[in-house]
Amino acid sequence: MIKPHGSDELTPLFVYDQSKHHELQKEAEGLPSIIINSAAAGNAVMLGGGYYTPLTGFMNVADTMGVAEKMQMTNGLFWPTPVINLNKNVDAIKDAKRIALRDPNVDGNPVLAIQDVEAIETLTDAQIDVITEKVYGTLDPEHPGVATFRDSGNIVVSGPIQVLSFSYFQTEFPDTFRTAVEIRNEIKEHGWNKIVAFQTRNPMHRAHEELCRMASEQIGTDGILIHMLLGKLKPGDIPAPVRDASIRKMVEVYFPANTVMVTGYGFDMLYAGPREAVLHAVFRQNCGCTHFIIGRDHAGVGDYYGAFEAQTIFDDEVPEGALDIEIFRADHTAYSKILNKVVMMKDVPDHTKEDFVLLSGTKVREMLAEGKAPPPEFSRPEVAEILMAHYQNQG
């Protein structure tokens, strides 16, 4: 099986040993504590599940700037985006060497992790600008990822962590949330050697479904990992339970049994386009996948990124050999009225715009809200039914 990033084995930071876990929970109640922001909580969950192998905790300012500017930590490790515990106020943990990190997303703010404090440093406005520009490619405050990052504070609390909870992900999504450890184990149980991963924060329409099928056939994979983001999204995005239900229905009806794993992970979307695409590749390598599909405007939002910048970053900025996972580059996909199937547009240069079934996301949402199913060439009827129920409930 493919090795995890920068390590021979996964390094999940969740404390699985029951007696140790109980001991730490007890200790945490007596420690100085802070309620961390949702992005840091998502990072703690990802560290706990082994997705961030080989990291041991939250980065300091030197590593944060190295990663932002050249995707490299001070120890030489390739890493695409900062993993930081940013705060606006740290009065509650002043001079503490060991602290409890409390969950902002669960009632009562239970302890999520314990952190050994190696340093408490302050980012300058200039450093925040550099991180924003490098990671998000823009300083525009309207960009949802930029807005969240710049509202998180400027105080960096760095050091290793021990994770005690997977937040709300395990309780709210028991059938879907999986750690990188669990996904690797399941891949081993299936006996799969070649696995292609598909990342989604949206329901999957026909084009997405066929893209997974095309990639699997062209690569010659044993299985497909459909891996959905379960964390916080921007307003207007479809909630995780609805996406989960629609994707599971599509897989159940349209894919052979035991060829697709439907799973999810606990992380807040960055909307960082190319940089986030590289981070997503790291996640999937750590899950044990050999290939990862990157399509048009992967992890993008609005018009901030070029259609295929999330692919070209792997050629232009990711050093040779930095990652073992291979990228499957997808073009625009749409249903061809001539061939009666979903195709990549680049593969049919003889087609005109009128030869495709093309619908904007806005148009699809309007149809679903009105109780009208999009054409079957665009969306499977079983999927459309679940989405229509969601949109009509919104009204």
- Would you please indicate which residues are annotated as catalytic (active-site) residues? 201-202
Continuous segment of H or E residues that includes residue 353 = none
**Residue reference for tokens 């409930």:** 393
Contacts 24+ apart (CB under 8 A), 235-238: 237/201, 237/202, 238/202, 238/203, 238/387, 238/390
Per the DSSP assignment, residues forming a β-bridge with 226 are 198, 262
Residue 357, strand partner residues:
335
Strands (E), the chain: 33-35, 57-58, 86-87, 98-102, 111-116, 119-122, 155-163, 195-200, 223-229, 260-265, 291-294, 326-329, 333-336, 341-344, 356-357
Phi, psi of 86 (to 5 degrees): -95, 140
Name the residue among 241, 232, 321 with its Cα closest to residue 285.
321
Would the CA dihedral through 109, 91, 149, 278 be positive or negative? negative
Query: Locate tokens 């060439």: which residue?
Result: 377
